[in-house]
A and B are shown apart, each in its own frame.
Chain A
Amino acid sequence: MSYWKGVWKRVRHHKLAVAGFAVFAMLVLASAIVPVISPHHVDDMDLESLFAPPSRSHPFGTDELGHDVFVRIMYGGRISLFVGVAAATSSALIGTAVGLVSGFAGGWVDSVLMRFTDMMLSVPTIPVLLIGAMFLGSGLANIIIILAAFGWMPTARLVRGVTLSLREQPFVEAARAAGASPVRILVRHMLPNLIPIVIVAATLGVSSAILAESALSYLGLGIQPPTPSWGNMLQRAMDYILGAAGEWGQPWWLTVFPGLFILLAVLSVNFMGDGLRDAIDPRLVLGSPHSAAASPTSDERDASAG
């Protein structure tokens, strides 16, 4: 356990990572609690005050149906954060499996898998997500499946790189000499060493999944209203930015707040991931010159979903 103690100590000294963790935890807590304790229900329509600007009773104002925007953002947070975490966890699992098999098996298995991974990586994300959504349709589970199906590649490359360098380590050789089976070597000796970098990749994956969900929902292919998500709240806001004559004085709160929460969530996750990456034993991650972690962009590539 002393390894994790060291990591924890280094993370604690990374101020931005701690701040990121605190903000993210607060977002999770608030989205869990606020919809329960707020006097307004998500679907409550206050027909007396449509498009009401922020006030004491509606801190983020109300929308075109008199919904309380604050409660809807908190409720949407449940959806958006859940999609982000679920999609990132699934992509991390797929990516770890692919990378581990690729790096451990080597030979033609490795070439085929990595060729496929590179092909998937070179295709721009949004169009691929569009096609995925066209097939599966929208809805919570489908969005998670689509994001996971097209988000595992950076993890796979990272895990493969580290697996390759681990394979040559003396302790693996010792295990092999002691007669351990390949499965045992994989599960008992390599996997524990891969966990730190998978956690980092998964953390950064949460931020790209949240961004991708918001883009998909904005395009109308993600979470469907009336269920609020940060992305589809932005989509509805678009209709009201311009107003009748394109005059100012339009309900800015409908646009500003949902986006602000996406930014907060993604930024906090990115800081967390960055701190974790710095805290993890750098020798392990950067050990091999061929490891994908050595390149500054590859492990976050898919964050550019927009």
Chain B
Amino acid sequence: MGAYVVRRVAGAIPLLILISAIVFTLIALAPGDPLLTMRMENPRAVSPEAIDRLRAHYHLDDPLPVRYLYWLKSVLEGDWGYSSTYKVPVRDLVISRVPNTLVLTVSAWLLGLIVALPIGIVSAAKKYSAFDYAATFAAFLALSMPPVWFGFLTIMLFGVKLKWLPIGGVADLATGTVGALLVDRLKHIILPMTVLGLVQVAYWVRYVRTSLLEVLGMDYIRTAKAKGLGERKVLLKHAMRNALIPVLTIAALDIPYFFGGAVVVETVFSWPGMGRLMYQAVIGSDYNLALCCLMLLAVLTIASNLAADVLYAVVDPRVSYS
């Protein structure tokens, strides 16, 4: 098992290098020239000679593969360059934003599972009941809901009209007791977390339902029932354990989608996280920042794929590690 994990992680490294080369090339080929922008913003302070010096300093006139190697070297040393929009090192900027995004995505993911599991289980256990139809319809509705709009509606209702919850940001209080700070943060996260989790709840409900229905048709379920076990015990102990395997795998594989969704949700709720940062980097042609955000996204995507595979191997004894 340990060897399997090590092998998979080692296998991810060449993939990551390949992706970094692709992403670097993409960004290098992207239209726009940050140095020219710099000169246009402040023509008196930035002389043509200064631009030339900077071009030489950043190796901008070298061929692309050489530039990539220089970039890789500095990145491995922990230097991601300067953000042209924020005028601070990209590394510091990203480090200050990553926790916010992690908190948001992890809580949305957990919320999604907590809501989707019981609904999916009841839907499958009471197939074709009123509850099942209502859940299916609600899932359709959630899948068809534009997240931006859903976000706006919650802001208008709970933020502006009822004034129950703040309309954006991560926190209002800078100081206070631990309890007050915690409540403040909780209040801020409720709306973005709900909006981010909603679409996935809809997927997962349908997935849990399908998966459980499939298991409920198995012979060993009939055996368990024939033994005289209660309906509840068969469902929760015998069926659920097997039905959960594909569900957990899908849930792990879906983690990158939360980071994708975070771009929109963080923008709607002014949540200072990586999604909004990536959006600002693209809008502002901030190439160093965009590169760093994309690489983080790639790492997260590979990591969640890896996690899904390992999880699968852990929970399903039929999967061999070799």
- Cβ–Cβ contact B301 & A263, under 8 A: no
Contact B152 A255 (CB under 8 A): yes
Any chain B CB within 8 A of the CB of A226?
A: no
Q: How far is the CA of A122 from the CA of B299 in the complex (A)?
A: 12
A259 interface residue (CB < 8 Å to B)? yes
Choose among B30, B210, B259, B261 the residue with the greatest number of A CB atoms under 10 Å from its CB: B261
Residues of chain A within 8 A of B293, CB atoms compared:
127
Question: B297 to chain A: which residues have CB within 8 Å?
Answer: 123-124, 127
Interface with B: A3-11, A100-108, A162-170, A298-306, which one? Answer: A298-306
Q: Which residues of A contact B29 (CB under 8 A)?
A: 135
Known: A126-B263, A304-B257. A207 touches B144 (CB 8 A): yes
A218 neighbours in B (Cβ, 8 Å): 148, 264, 267
Residues of A with C-beta under 8 A to B283? 219-221
Stretch among B49-57, B81-89, B153-161, B311-319 lining the A interface: B153-161
Stretch of A51-59, A194-202, A243-251 contacting B (4+ beta carbons < 8 Å): A243-251
CA distance A237 to B149 in the complex (A): 10
Interface residues of B in 70-99 (CB under 8 A from A): none
User: Taking A248-B161, A296-B207, A297-B206 as contacts, is the C-beta distance between A270 and B149 under 8 angstroms?
Assistant: no
Within 8 A of A (CB), among B137-173: 140-141, 143-150, 152-153, 155-156, 159-161, 167
A252 at the interface (CB under 8 A from B): yes
Identify B206's interface contact among A238, A247, A296, CB under 8 A.
A296
Give residues of chain A (281-306) contacting chain B, Cβ–Cβ below 8 Å: 296-297, 300, 303-306
Q: Does B16 contact A (CB under 8 A)?
A: no
Is A91 in contact with chain B by the CB < 8 A criterion?
no
A157 to chain B: closest CB distance in Å?
14
- Interface size in chain B (residues, C-beta < 8 A): 52
Q: Does B260 contact A (CB under 8 A)?
A: yes
Which residues from A are CB-within-8-Å of B257?
A: 124-125, 304
A303 to B260, CA, bound (A): 12
In the complex, are the beta carbons of A300 and B149 less than 8 A apart?
no
Interface string of A32-66 (1 = CB under 8 A from B): 00000000000000000000000000000000000
B-facing mask of A51-92, CB < 8 A → 1, else 0? 000000000000000000000000000000000000000000
| Chain A hits for B147, CB < 8 A | 215, 306
- What is the distance, in angstroms, from B97's C-beta to the closest C-beta of chain A? 15
| Interface SS majority for chain B | helix
Decide if B12 is an interface residue (CB 8 Å cutoff). no
B68 at interface by CB-CB < 8 Å: no
CB of A113 within 8 Å of the partner chain? no
Count CB-based A-B contacts (< 8 Å): 146
Asked if A186 is at the interface of the complex by the 8 Å CB criterion, the answer is: no
Please name the residue on chain A nearest to B298 by beta carbon. Answer: A123
State whether the Cβ of A174 lies closer than 8 Å to any Cβ in chain B: no
Distance of A124 Cα from B94 Cα, bound (Å): 19
CB contacts (< 8 Å) of B125 on chain A: these are none
Is A246's CB under 8 angstroms from B167's CB? yes
Does A267 lie at the interface of the complex (its beta carbon under 8 Å from any beta carbon of B)?
Answer: yes
Check if B146 sits within 8 Å of A127, measured CB to CB.
no
Given contacts A122-B256, A297-B206, contact A271 B140 (CB under 8 A): yes
> Which A-chain residue is minimally distant from B160 (CB atoms)?
A248
Could you say which of A122, A131, A234, A263 contacts B282, with CB atoms under 8 Å apart?
A131
> Are A130's CB and B278's CB within 8 A?
yes
Could you mark each residue 281-319 of chain B with 1 if its beta carbon is under 8 Å from any beta carbon of chain A, else 0? Answer: 011010000100110010001000100000000000000
Q: Is the CB of A262 within 8 A of B256?
A: no
**What residues of chain A have their CB less than 8 Å away from a CB belonging to chain B?**
122-127, 130-131, 133-135, 137, 207, 211, 214-215, 218-221, 231, 234, 237-238, 241-242, 246-248, 250, 252, 255-256, 258-259, 262-263, 266-267, 270-271, 274, 296-297, 300, 303-306
